[in-house]
Structure 1
Amino acid sequence: MSQLILNAIGDIDENVALVTDPDLTVGADQVLVRIEAAAINPVDFMLASGTYGYQAQVPFALGSEGVGRVVETGASVDRSLVGRRVLIVPNYEQGTWADEVVMSVRNVLVIPDDGDPAQLAMVGINPLTAHLALTDYVSLQPGDWVGQNMGNSGVGVNVIGLAKHLGLKTLSVVRRPEVAARLRAAGADLVIVDGNDLADRIQEALGENKLRLVLDGTGDATAGALAQAAEYGGTLVSYSSQTRQTPAVGLFDYIYRQLSLRGLWMVNWLQNTPREEVERTYSELARLVAKGVLSTEVEATYPLAEFREALDHARQQGRSGKVLFRP
């Protein structure tokens, strides 16, 4: 087995190493999974630097999500799992940047055999976050409007795909003009480039419509601009913050227009949701990915041996898609 291990919290480039362990022992309630694909996510860099809500204990196996096939089961595990494709639950109890991983059987979920492994490898975090944002806070109906910043992010693209599937309308704010055409082609109803008079341009584009739900991943002024177009008593859900600040929403919107601010961290959902619901939710998301309803652009894939090049690529600004390991 080869696996990327973090040996200290701090600079990932200084503290990550590719470790080989030829002796794999599969415990009674464990499975051995051969990794097909594993995504590189911003959260992986945050875990390495110690700036995430989950504090990694070193040595720490890196890689938050991925898919693979079960090649061996422990004595207490159903042998029918052997050969099945499984999604690895992104609860940080095991790393996916590896060619093979031993893990608890409770941390794998059987998913469809059809579908692109690279796409299925990205089901764990972004599609789940998009799903929870659209379903857990506001009872949305077909035709309702959802506004978001970070429209071209992994979460943003999945929000657009899921919203289209559910009959919802989306307004997405992006930072670069060249991104807008890609999002429209992906099904976005309105795409607006950040800049001067953003709040006015959002409201002009919406016309008489109001946003029932606002999704924020930046914590900057774009959240406040979107909030101004929210309906009375509307809801803003914050799922990340690039600025590490609370969403910059005006006091007027909180007090006089009764805007609600909610937080979303999928780890809380994984820890507090019954197993049956977790399985059902991931199964449906994997089905939508396999059918092409949800899709995330992949810019490049790398073998584990080229992990430094892969990490550098994943941190490049202006990428058009995700970077994955394909062991």
Structure 2
Amino acid sequence: MPFQIVRNDITKMKVDAIVNAANSALQMGGGVCGAIFRAAGPNDLQKACHQIGQCAVGEAVITDGFNLPAKYIIHTVGPIWKGGGHHEAEYLTSCYINSLKLAVLHGSQSIAFPLISSGIYGYPKKQALQIAISSISEFLLEHEMDVTMVVFDQDAVQLSEKLFDSIYQYIDDHYIEENVIHTNRNQIEYDQVYSEMPILQSEPEFNISESKRSLEDVLMQLEETFSQRLLRLIDEKGKTDAETYKKANIDRRLFSKIRNNPEYTPLKKTVIAFAISLELNLDETIDLLRTAGYALSNSSKFDLIIQYFIEQKNYNIYEINEALFAFDQVLLGA
């Protein structure tokens, strides 16, 4: 997945490069910085930092990863929060962009960030996350790289109170406590909320007004595979392949598999990511899901959150993923 948010220890991330929220003197500090120094080997890392000297706010420098799983450590100095009127946003944006450019320069294909400046530097977490997502998503429009935002806890991702309450109320109004399916043939039980296996249903559980469609359209769509339907929709919407998979937070290699194999069936979250990318309405989204053997369910919080955003005509996949993360659901993308 080109961009994801995870709860993890950044020193354990198996990526090409991790980013250290450093101080200007490149000295071992506390918080994330201290943890990275300790895991990498404080003496070796401090020696490498001494050889560099200093790093200005918003800039980035690079060292080896030493004892870390990551090959490189990119050190960037975030701004101290002073109320927002001292170019903090510009400096923080530069931290992400310069770190990403440095990663590309050194051949890195994957990178993990902490939420820069949101600790002892006092940057409000919600604003810090918005800048991180905006900077990274803009960069990914022009570059191929897997980017992970690593947070220690769910509180790091803070939706606005209004949005959180609105989604929560929507789930409360529509949720049906019926999410265990029994199959008589092999007596397997599984939770439909988290299952990625295709679930064939004759009708979706949502109460949706039927669209008027010609018999020719219906018959054509019944014969289409997921790959065929997706490629047709891309053409109909006037989109390019790259524009579609990037906006869907999908890896180019996965899109290539889908394009080259008409019988390929992706995960449900991947199908929905394409629906969001193409800004499909709810009818169109359900139709696309059916071609891959999936359906939406009122017993799935994940599905209800997706329906909420589609009904609101909000197709920003990064905002949707923020909401999914806040409600402890799987994120959209590959």
TM over 0.5: same fold?
no
More helix by share: 2
More strand by share: 1
- Report the TM-score, using the length of structure 1 for normalisation: 0.27
Which of structures 1 and 2 has the bigger CA Rg? 2
- Report the TM-score, using the length of structure 2 for normalisation: 0.26
